[in-house]
Structure 1
Amino acid sequence: MGRLEEVSVARVAEVEDCSKQWSLAWHHSGGILATCGDDKIVRVWKYTPEPPFLECRTKLDASHTRAIRSVAFSHDGKFLASAAFDSTIVIYERGEDGEFEETNKLEGHESEVKCCAFSPSDEFFATCSRDKSVWFWQLDEEDDFAVSSILQPHTGDVKFVAWHPIEDLLVSCSYDFSIRFYTFDGEDWVTQQHVADAHDGTVWCAAFDAATGRRLATVGEDRVVQLWTCTATPEEGGVRSGKWQKAARYTVEGTRWPLYSVSWNAVSGLLAVSGGDETVRVLRVEGAEGEECFQEVAVYAGHEGDVNCVSWHPKDPALLATASDDGSIRLLRLEE
């Protein structure tokens, strides 16, 4: 059994009773971390391998009027996006000085926007909302985001969207217990597969296996980590035409609290999972295809509130960032 050691704790408490941190995202270089929360501020932190590890370099606090639920970097590092409960998504562009400034505000959702994510090519951008819709935006040559498709496939809040690491394939997670996969047919985005009752309760988060692209992990209200595998081979069209099916599950025992976040390590293949029980767990998928199972590797229980988001560092396979209701952003190092 390994252990997760606390490397750094950055506390956010500038606004009384508004310190809850909802989400975080690493810049793909690994040198920058963006975070957001109830205080309506996007913070951009510089990461260094030596103390203090996290240094807040920028506060973007003039764009949203309500809590910010999600942040995401484009893969080319040019854009940072934030999605908020004020029903808007803000796009920030990185200037020559390295600072991010607001350049666009995307509007149209009728209720709180829960998540945003850039496609692998950065050509497309997806958002989802409490209004039960998934929006696809397309980046044009002038760096403007235009609506490509608007889908309302779910019967409940859409909590999360995640892109496949290689293909233009998106998955959405919902309050209606289901997950849906989407592909682009050349003109519009369409539902490729609908999996009803993916979990026994709200599906909170999903993460693809970046190494193979043929596995997906989801977590939910039922305290279950569910592994999905794609049945199609490259000759059959790969994941864009294949069907996803259940392969293995792991249930967190001894708690009634949901699992809110999952992150799949692109280097080590390990999964980090967190939730309402104030705990972070690291899991490994073991076994041959068709015989997979989960093995718990390490546990961290140092938070004092729900752990809303976990994200592995893109370059350092042992470094994990967490965001919590206790107002802290923490860096944890896995020692196996």
Structure 2
Amino acid sequence: MSEEVVGSKGIIKRDELVRILGEALYSLGYKRTGDCLEAESGIQSHSRVVKLFIQKIIEGKWDESLASLHGISIAYANISALPFLLILEQKFFRLLEEGNFREALKTLRDDITPRCHTDEDRIRELSVLLLRQSSVHQSRLKSGEDLLEELQNVIPPVVMLRKSGLVHLVEQVLLLQRDSCRFHNSTNLSLFTDHHCGKEQIPSESIQVDDFGLVSMKHQLSGHAKPVSCISWSPNDDQLLTCGEEERIRRWDIATGECLQIIAKPNLKIVSCAWGPDGNSIFFGVRYGNVGRMYMWDLQGNDLKCWKTPRNEELGITDKELITILKNSQIIFVKLDSNSLRFRVINENQPIVSFALSEDSKFLLVSLSNQEIHLWNIDGPTNAVLATYRGHKRSRFVVRSCFGGLGQAFIASGSEDSQVYIWHRDSGELILKLGGHSGVVNCVSWNPVNPHMLASGSDDRTIRIWGLLNQ
């Protein structure tokens, strides 16, 4: 029976598996159940001599444990000198504490020195303790349980199983399973600031997120003089557009954190921005008193097209249409090949705060004043709400949301409590909150190419780029 294997891979021996299960039962305190497993299987977690050795170590009976270890070394030829030495050191320390210096000298001379004759530093250190007849620091004296755990790491598993080995394996499996559908650990990579405007660097920080591990900031881009209200990734994901409320647009290099360009024109109060689908044009909304306009520029700042619109705080760009808010509860779709407002409309029953377009242009996220986010299907002959997301905070300010993650399986949103909220798109479950900003998080934007990267902009005048590693 002992040579039988279990599992489809043929690599787990039955007796090894039973021994691991038995050790786990004993370590959890289920002695009778462990005894029943050994009796029924005929397989012992540990041999009789190993069990005796474990018992004597726990009891702190060093001479008897050394005798048991000697018996084990006869049965197994792969026991090194280190386990003997660890036990002998504890015996030596105990004798010093008891003031039995004669026996301590005998142990050092007759037992320890022959086993570590090549480790002169260790022998010298023990000799000094003996000559000074000094007390041993409490950290050097170990309990039987602590010494046993140390011994389990140096005695081969074929002889003595490591304590709670199965528990450790189960922990690793559960971590892998959890992380495969949630977010994985990442490292705090770097911090950048905008040198064009002379802002000081702000220290980066690792953010502890519920039970999902560390989600850390990758870059921090500073430079806006007013709260950041809009973020847009370039189609090839190597650049970022940001703008503040009635402020300039800044174009950033993601690899270096450098501000590549500041886009502005006299008397233009820019309130929103977005990349064109080709990556070579920029769309932005401006205010002229109570009148709004949408502009299309090339990267050199040349006007390509202009539309008049009642509102322009929000922009969505497809390869055929420009999307913006028409009235408080209406969204319009304007044809890009026309200078007139030829459009179709969807209607909400609450004032619209913001919206975001999916990568395939088939779905629209609409954030409402009642702290709900609606997922609209805008691809069919009739538009319909598919899901609703709740939990974030919004009472006074414009707060934006976005699609993201692998297959755009997640929904993210800013919030007035200075956090970023993330939901599962299909289930609507709130799964994550990212803390770290010191002001309202106005906008979020998920990298269109790298599903592991999310940007957030805040009233604290910084943009944080989060490294979310999704397996």
Listed one character per residue, the Cα deviations across residues 188-247 of structure 1 (whole Å, up to 9, x for unaligned) are: 253422334x2512422x22221x331111212221111111344xxxxxxxxxx66232
Correspondence for 2:402 among 260, 263, 269 = 263
The aligned counterpart of 1:289 is none
For 1:207, the equivalent position in structure 2 comes to 356
Aligned residue among 267, 283, 288 for 2:423: 283
Q: How does 1:80-159 map to 2 (within 5 A)?
A: 81-86=241-246, 88-89=248-249, 100-102=259-261, 105-107=264-266, 109=268, 112-122=269-279, 124-131=281-288, 132-139=291-298, 143-154=300-311, 158-159=312-313
Q: 1:272 is matched with which residue: 408, 412, 423?
A: 412
d(CA) in 2 for partners of 1:223 and 1:191?
31
Deviations 1:293-325 (A, max 9, x none): x42151216345422222223444244333334
Name the CA distance, whole Å, in 1 between partners of 2:186 and 2:374: 29
The answer on whether the counterparts of 2:423 and 2:432 sit within 8 Å (CA) in structure 1 is: no
Distance 1:299 1:119 in 2: 30
SS in 1 for 2:412: strand
RMSD: 4.5
Question: Which range is displaced more, 251-260 or 1-10?
Answer: 1-10
State the shift of 1:264 in Å.
Answer: 0.9
Amino acid at match of 2:415: G
CA distance 1:40–1:214, shift in 2 (3 Å) = farther
Give the 5 Å matches for 1:1-336. 54-55=218-219, 69-72=229-232, 74-75=234-235, 81-86=241-246, 88-89=248-249, 100-102=259-261, 105-107=264-266, 109=268, 112-122=269-279, 124-131=281-288, 132-139=291-298, 143-154=300-311, 158-164=312-318, 167-173=319-325, 176-185=328-337, 187-188=338-339, 190-196=341-347, 198=348, 200-204=350-354, 206-210=355-359, 212-232=360-380, 245-252=383-390, 257=395, 260-265=399-404, 267-269=406-408, 270-286=410-426, 294-300=427-433, 302-303=435-436, 305-325=439-459, 329=464, 331=466, 333=468
Cα 1:262/1:40, change in 2 over 3 Å = farther
- Alignment size in residue pairs: 270
Cα shift readout 1:75-119 (whole Å, capped 9, x = no counterpart): 4679765544456556x597xx9965447533454xx42211121
Structure 2 unaligned runs (5+)? Answer: 1-177, 202-214
Summarize deviations over 1:148-176 as a string: whole Å, max 9, x none. Answer: 1231234xxx3221223xx2322114772
Kindly tell me: are residues 250 and 66 of structure 1, through their superposed partners in 2, closer, same or farther at Cα, counting changes over 3 Å?
closer
Deviations 1:46-70 (A, max 9, x none): xxxxx986356x86x5xx8755543
Report the CA distance shift for 1:199/1:101 in structure 2 as closer, same or farther (over 3 A). same
Identity of aligned residues (%): 16
Instruction: Give the partner amino acid of 2:278.
Output: S
Q: 1:107 to 1:321 in 2, by over 3 A?
A: same
> Equivalents in 2 of 1:254, 1:72: separation in Å?
21
Q: Name the CA distance, whole Å, in 2 between partners of 1:78 and 1:145.
A: 22
Query: Aligned in 2, Cα 1:93/1:319: closer, same or farther, shift over 3 Å?
Result: closer
Could you say what secondary structure the match of 1:222 adopts? Answer: coil
Look up the equivalent residue of 2:390 and give its one-letter code: V
SS in 2 for 1:295: coil
Q: Is contact 2:246–2:270 with CA below 8 Å preserved after alignment?
A: yes
SS at match of 2:399: strand
Greater fraction strand = 1
Q: Is the 8 Å Cα contact of residues 186 and 216 (structure 2) preserved in structure 1?
A: no
- 1:281-303: CA deviations, max 9, x gaps? 322333xxxxxxx4215121634
Alpha-carbon separation, structure 2, partners of 1:195 and 1:319: 31
Report the Cα distance in structure 1 between the residues aligned to 2:388 and 2:252, rounded to whole angstroms. 40
What is the distance in 2 between the residues matched to 1:322 and 1:78?
16
**Are 2:228 and 2:461, in contact at CA under 8 Å, matched by a contact in 1?**
no
Alpha-carbon separation, structure 2, partners of 1:6 and 1:324: 24
Q: Distance in 2 between matches of 1:79 and 1:311?
A: 12
- TM-score, structure 2 normalization: 0.46
Quote the Cα distance in structure 1 between the aligned partners of 2:257 and 2:226: 26
In structure 1, how many angstroms separate the alpha carbons of the residues matched to 2:189 and 2:349? 34
Q: Is the 8 A contact 1:175 1:203 kept in 2?
A: no
The one-letter code sitting in structure 1 at the alignment partner of 2:431 is A
3-state DSSP of counterpart to 1:268: helix
Q: Distance in 1 between matches of 2:392 and 2:272?
A: 29
Deviation sequence 1:5-29 (CA, Å, 0-9, x none): 78578999xxxxxxxxxxxxxxxxx
- The residue aligned with 2:169 is none
Corresponding residue of 2:128: none
Q: Which has the larger radius of gyration?
A: 2
